[in-house]
Amino acid sequence: MTESSSRNWLLARPAVDEDQARDIAARAFAISGEPREVGSQQDRNFVIRDGHRGILLKFDNASTSDAERDLQTLVSERLRAANVPTPRILDPADCLLPRIDVPGQHDAPETITARAFEWIDGAPLSDDAELSGTVAEQLGRLAGRSVSGLSGLTHPASERAIQWELGRAAEVVEQLLGSLPEERRDPCRDAARRAETAVRRVAAQLPRQVIHGDLTSDNVLRDATGELWVVDLGDATMSWRVAELAIAAADVLGRTEDLSMVARVVRGYAQETPLTDPELVALWPLIVLRGAVLAVSGWSQLEIDPGNAYARARIEHEWQVFEAGLGIDPATAQAHLRIAAGLPHREGLEYAPILEGAIAELDLGVESPLLDRGAWLEPDIETRLVRALLDTEPTDRPRVAAIAPFGQARLSRTSGDVSAPGASRARCVELWAAAGTELHAPFAGTLRHDGDAIELSDRGVILRFAGAAPSVAAAEVRTGEVFATTGDTSVRITRRVAGSRPDANFVHFDGEYESSGALDPSLLLGVIAVPDPEIALRDERVRREAAMGGASERYYAEPPRIERGWGALLIETRGRAYLDMVNNVTAIGHSHPRLADDVARQLNLLNTNSRFLYGLYADFTNRLLEHSPDPALDVVIPVSSGSEANDLAIHLAQVATGRTTIVAAREGYHGWTMASDAVSTSAFDNPNALGTRPDWVDIVSAPNAYRGRYRGAEAASGYVSELREHLVALQASGRAAAAFICEPVLGNAGGVVPPSGYLAGAYAEIRAAGGLAIADEVQVGYGRLGRAFWGSQLDGAIPDIITVAKAAGNAFPLGAVITKRSILDALREDGMFFSSAGGAPASMAAGLAVLDVIRDEGLQRNALMVGEHLIERLSVLSKRHELIGAVHGAGLYLGIELVLDRTDLTPAVRETREVCERLLGHGIIMQATSERQNVLKVKPPMTLTIEQADAFVAALDTVLNDIQIANVAI
Ligand code: PMP
């Protein structure tokens, strides 16, 4: 190596200051803001933000050529095309990259070029408190996609000499070794030489291509949606393809010092790009070489740029990367990494089947149909299913065993008691066979007995069979030889790295899938492995954001992925059940078998638009009319949603009265269609609500006697008088009201029950003014309030039009309007009504099933009983927790209002959000409501049991205590 090229490898950041950055950003990229420097080894980077826009302004090191910049642009485009998100490189205003002169090394002036990249608001994966196996696998997947995206790319600049290119590693280490502290030099040189020799043996067989060259947890950012972004394309270079993987793997090794984590990186990579035998020979030595290069470079960088805090902070980590590699036996590493890549642990090896006969796979996962209808809660469900599977008529070969896969989040082990979640995730392959079934060694190896387990090992790969009895005395077995027999229990089979301890066979729902030596044995046993549910969860989040963007509402910052429900429980894919305390849509509970059967049966028979004649239409409408609060309300029109029901209700009132004005109570939500939205004024759903009402909408105060305009004993008459004044004024101005609409219990305002006498009074006023009363019972109707089927009945009031949805179909799209024949007749004169899916046979079947279940299971009674129990328990809680200002509502529609001060009622907004987030950790799904977002909405399925109610109260108690303790920290 020549002097000049060696100097080229040691580069200080260009001497650009913030004023220059500010100036260039404004001039060339039309963005003005305060520059903030972010770390870099050899370039100078600033973030500049201006409102929603932001750029990363990069001043390249003077040694970066235009050709290299061109290469980076190409790489950037290729990566994006290969589904590796990377920030776009932005075009400067005049298409010419801005350049400035600054003092360089030894004060000689140098010309620096600036580029702007799209700014990604995210944090590097290296900021995670602990690097998880999931992240390791995601990093590997990005590396695999990166090389597949960059394959075939040619560019002159990719051939330049850079110190990070692993083909030069040994050379770089020799040259920079002197910068290391004395005692570190020898181990570093020796390890690098050994690794170099190993790589050289297969070098000619290693595919070469352009790679990113620095794909590490520092250079992958996670944004708010969970999307991962690859940044820093400055080290893109021609190299061995497998070097991309080695670089990512070395980073993970340094951060975790755990070979099983490195294996996760390899596993992720191999899902995208297959690894060849020579690549797997070179992989571990390349990881070691990367560690050595990092170690020497870190120290030498500090020598030339002592003020570089970024480089200083990294040198110990870089030494760690190197040392972690030295502590692991290369043959062991290679064996496990081969398995992670989907290859047998030795080249050319073929695993023998461990049993004679067929093995049936048993799906015990969250979505397994075997566990439908609550079967997952049966205590001995696994045994029953195994027996059923083994007793099934044999097909071509007798089924001798059943296995359940490694990594599966087992629903059969998920606890229905949310306060005690089970260890549901399998870290073993579990095998069931008749006692005495012979087990064959999948590979030749050494046997060791350890309590009730037998271990077979070869090349640092240990396969452990817990629950099997040895059948040979010898210490060595050949491939295929019988070495053990099964006993009365299942056999749990695990793999681990020699030197690590056996782990638990089942871990808690959020436990790590693979870590500290617990590795997937599936490949060695010839059975399928289950993809990591944690990764699938993250992918799903990104997929949903991409589909709907930010406009679609979603619960939680870090949402679990819910794929099953049962009663009041929701189950996420990592194998945990949550108590669903917010879902008034699913009034009769999740996955009710009656509903599932009736709808499935109808779908098998007929489902069509409602213009045909079929029996279910009248069956449902008549059945709903049995609940009509008054004989005068004698017709039903089925629709598909609450919004549509309210839209139709408004339309009906307008045609029946020949007027247009609708008076609505403040802070309501009635839907998203044009008319239902027009009467919705909840500032949470629509921050500009009051300023944007169309002229046919008139708003009166929400009848909230707790914190509204009128409180205490006079509240009802105060609010009724206000309505009367509005009606009179409207009449006087020639805009007489067609109707008054409100929720009979103010659901969206937090379950607030209007003061007694209000509804009856309000309905009398609107009728006296020649208008109609519309009750939006979408949330509170259908028996949920316990004391009555309809919210308006709590106050003895009877509206002219009732709208329902949500509970009506138990989340099947069904709504309805109940009204008087005379009102409906007015519509006929105005034109007929038709809504394609409204009233369709399957919706009618759903609607009937819901009403039947509410009746047959006594759910209204249950709502009353459990609701009163809850109110009692919550009132006890409110004596201990000052934060609870009030408990609103009735039955199973409650609102727990949190306030900072019980006198001035300051809403405890942050605390409410915090309570919801923390309750999730306790297995409770809870959300905030009201336009102040300070009310916990309690509206679970009406099947909620006393025990479940108690579990909720206990969790709330704990969380409120914790919050009080942590109050300053929130
Ligand atoms: N009315 C009320 C009181 C509601 O809470 C909602 C939905 N949150 C609607 C109407 C609209 O119902 P949908 O979402 O079915 O259109």
Ligand 1 center from residue 672 Cα (angstroms): 8
Q: Are 517 and 344 in contact (CB under 8 A)?
A: no
Q: How do 801-804 and 635-639 pair as beta strands?
A: unpaired
For residue 573, what pLDDT is reported?
94
Q: In which region does residue 682 sit, left (phi positive, over 0), alpha (psi from -120 to 50) or beta (all else)? A: beta
Q: Residue 955 C-alpha to ligand 1 middle, in angstroms?
A: 29
What is the position in ligand 1's atom list of the atom closest to the CA of 780?
A: 3
How is residue 201 written in tokens?
């043996």
Task: Establish whether residue 891 lines the binding site of ligand 1, counting it when its CB lies within 6 angstroms of any ligand atom.
Answer: no
- Average pLDDT (741-756) is 96
Q: What is the mean pLDDT of the chain?
A: 92
* 847 CA from centroid of ligand 1 (Å): 17
Tell me which amino acid residue 271 is. Answer: Q
pLDDT at 10 > cutoff 70: no
Centre of ligand 1 to C-alpha 749, Å, is 13
**889 Cα to the center of ligand 1, angstroms:** 18
CA of 688 from ligand 1 middle (Å) equals 19
| Statement: residue 444 has pLDDT above 80 | yes
The answer to whether 934 and 898 have CB atoms below 8 angstroms apart is: yes
Residues 894, 952 contacting (CB under 8 angstroms): no
Dihedral in degrees, nearest 10, Cα atoms 159, 124, 173, 205: -50
Entry pTM: 0.90
Q: Would you say the CB of residue 670 lies under 6 angstroms from ligand 1?
A: yes
CA distance 747 to 427: 45
Query: Which residue among 648, 779, 802 is best mutated to probe the pocket of ligand 1, counting the most ligand atoms within 8 A of its Cβ?
Result: 779
Q: What is the whole-number distance in angstroms between the Cα of residue 929 and the centre of ligand 1?
A: 14
Categorize the per-residue pLDDT at 599 as very low, low, confident or very high, splitting at 50, 70 and 90: very high
| Nearest CA owner, ligand 1 atom 5 | 779
Q: How far apart are CA 970 and CA 958, in angstroms?
A: 16
Taking only the tens place, the pLDDT of each residue in 749-784 is 999 999 999 999 999 999 999 999 999 999 999 999
Question: Could you please report the per-residue DSSP string of 211-258?
Answer: E-S--STTSEEEETTS-EEE---TT-EEEEHHHHHHHHHHHHHHHH--
pLDDT tens by residue, 190-226? 999 999 999 999 999 999 999 999 999 999 999 988 8
Specify the range with the lowest mean pLDDT, choosing from 493-502, 553-562, 693-702, 811-820.
553-562
Pocket probe for ligand 1: among 552, 670, 681, 937, the residue whose CB has the most ligand atoms within 8 Å is 670
Residue 416 has which token pair?
């229905």
CA of 404 to the centre of ligand 1 (A): 43
Is there an atom of ligand 1 within 6 Å of 778 CB?
yes
What are 890's two structure tokens?
């009735």
**Residue 646: closest CA among 786, 794, 789, 806:** 806
Choice among 23-27, 365-369, 613-617, 621-625 with the minimum mean pLDDT: 23-27
- Residue identifier of the C-alpha nearest atom 13 of ligand 1: 642
Question: Is residue 397 within 8 Å of 355, Cβ to Cβ?
Answer: no
- Average pLDDT value for residue range 881-889: 97
Closest ligand 1 atom to Cα of 806: 15
Ligand 1, atom 14, residue with closest C-alpha: 642
Of 779, 776, 774, 851, the closest CA to residue 809 belongs to 851
Asked if pLDDT for residue 2 goes beyond 60, the answer is: no
**Tens-digit pLDDT profile for residues 462-497:** 999 999 999 988 899 999 999 999 999 999 999 999
Q: Is 895 in the pocket of ligand 1 (CB under 6 A)?
A: no
So what's the pLDDT on residue 394?
A: 58
Q: Using most ligand atoms within 8 A of CB, pick from 676, 745, 806 the residue to mutate for ligand 1.
A: 806
Residues in Cβ contact with 967 at an 8 Å cutoff, skipping those fewer than 6 apart? none
**Probe target for ligand 1 pocket from 643, 666, 741, with the most ligand atoms within 8 Å of CB:** 643
Q: What distance in Å separates the CA atoms of residue 711 and residue 190, rounded to the nearest whole number?
A: 83
**Distance, CA 457 to ligand 1 centroid (Å)?**
62
Mean pLDDT, residues 682-705 taken together: 87
pLDDT of 614 over the 90 cut: yes
Alpha carbon of 669 to ligand 1 centroid (Å): 7
Does the beta carbon of 244 lie inside 6 Å of ligand 1?
Answer: no
Q: Is 269 in the pocket of ligand 1 (CB under 6 A)?
A: no
The stretch 922-933 carries a mean pLDDT of 95
Looking at the predicted structure, is the pLDDT value of residue 229 above 70? yes
The pLDDT score that the predictor gives to residue 454 is 97
**Confidence band for 397, pLDDT divided at 50, 70 and 90:** low
For residue 779, report the distance from its CA to the centre of ligand 1, in Å.
7
Pocket test for ligand 1, best of 746, 776, 778 (most atoms within 8 A of CB): 778
Q: How far is the CA of 505 from the centre of ligand 1 (A)?
A: 46
Which tokens hold the place of 22?
Answer: 């500010």
Pairing state between β 482-486 and 438-440: antiparallel
pLDDT at 3: 35
**CB-ligand 1 contact for 137 (6 Å cutoff):** no
Residue 111: count other Cβ atoms within 10 Å of its Cβ.
11
Instruction: Confirm or reject: Cβ of 893 under 6 Å from ligand 1.
Output: no
- Determine which helix (DSSP H) or strand (DSSP E) holds 208, and give its type and residue range: strand 208-211
Positive/negative CA dihedral, 263, 264, 265, 268? positive
Question: Rounded CA gap, 938 and 46, in Å?
Answer: 47
743 lines ligand 1 (CB under 6 A): yes
645 CA → ligand 1 middle, Å: 9
Confidence of residue 793 (pLDDT cuts 50, 70, 90): very high
Q: pLDDT tens for residues 636-668?
A: 999 999 999 999 999 999 999 999 999 999 999
Rounded to the nearest whole angstrom, what is the distance from the C-alpha of residue 794 to the centroid of ligand 1?
21
What are the tokens at 208? 């070469």
- Which atom of ligand 1 is least distant from the CA of 747? 3
The residue among 201, 479, 221, 242 whose CA lies nearest residue 344 is 479
Asked whether residue 512 carries a pLDDT value surpassing 90, the answer given is no
Counting from 1 in the atom list of ligand 1, the atom nearest the Cα of 805 is: 15
Question: Is residue 384's pLDDT more than 70?
Answer: yes
45 C-beta closer than 6 A to ligand 1: no
Nearest ligand 1 atom to the CA of 641 is 15
803 lines ligand 1 (CB under 6 A): no
**Cα gap 179→182, rounded to integer Å:** 9
CB atoms closer than 10 angstroms to residue 152: 9
Residue-wise pLDDT tens digits, 135-176: 999 999 999 999 999 999 999 999 998 889 999 999 999 999
* Pocket lining: 744 vs ligand 1, CB cutoff 6 Å: no
Mean predicted confidence (pLDDT) in 385-405: 80
Does residue 5 carry a pLDDT above 50?
A: no
Q: Which atom of ligand 1 is nearest to the CA of 672?
A: 16
The pLDDT score that the predictor gives to residue 4 is: 36
- Beta carbon of 272 within 6 Å of any ligand 1 atom: no
pLDDT-derived band at 682 (thresholds 50, 70, 90) equals confident
Ligand 1 centroid – CA 735 distance (Å): 27
| pLDDT value of position 687 | 72
Per-residue pLDDT at 515: 66
* Percent of the chain residues past pLDDT 90, beyond the cut: 77
- CB crowding 463-491: b at 16 or more within 10 Å, else e: bbbbbbbbeeeeeebeebeebbbbeeebb
> Which structure tokens are listed for 154?
């040619």
pLDDT at 472: 87
Mean per-residue pLDDT for 221-235?
A: 91
| Percentage of residues in the chain having pLDDT higher than 70 | 97
Query: Stretch 378-395: mean pLDDT, rounded?
Result: 85
Helix 330-340 and helix 259-272, axial crossing angle in degrees, nearest 10: 40
Question: Ligand 1 centroid vs 670 CA: distance in angstroms?
Answer: 5
Ligand 1: does its nearest atom lie under 6 Å from the Cβ of 943? no
- Which pLDDT value is given to residue 551? 64
How far apart CA 868 and CA 891 sit, in angstroms, is: 6
| Ligand 1 atom 12 nearest Cα | 642
Q: Higher pLDDT residue, 316 or 171?
A: 171
- Ligand 1: which residue has its CA nearest to atom 2? 670
Q: Tell which atom from ligand 1 comes closest to the C-alpha of 676.
A: 10
Is the Cβ atom of 791 under 6 angstroms away from ligand 1? no
How many residues does this entry show for the chain? 970
**CB-CB contact of 252 with 261 (8 Å):** yes
Question: 622: pLDDT confidence band, cut at 50, 70 and 90?
Answer: very high
Phi/psi at 800 (nearest 5 deg)? -95, -25
Pairing mode, strands 122-124 and 737-742:
unpaired
387 token code pair: 């027996």
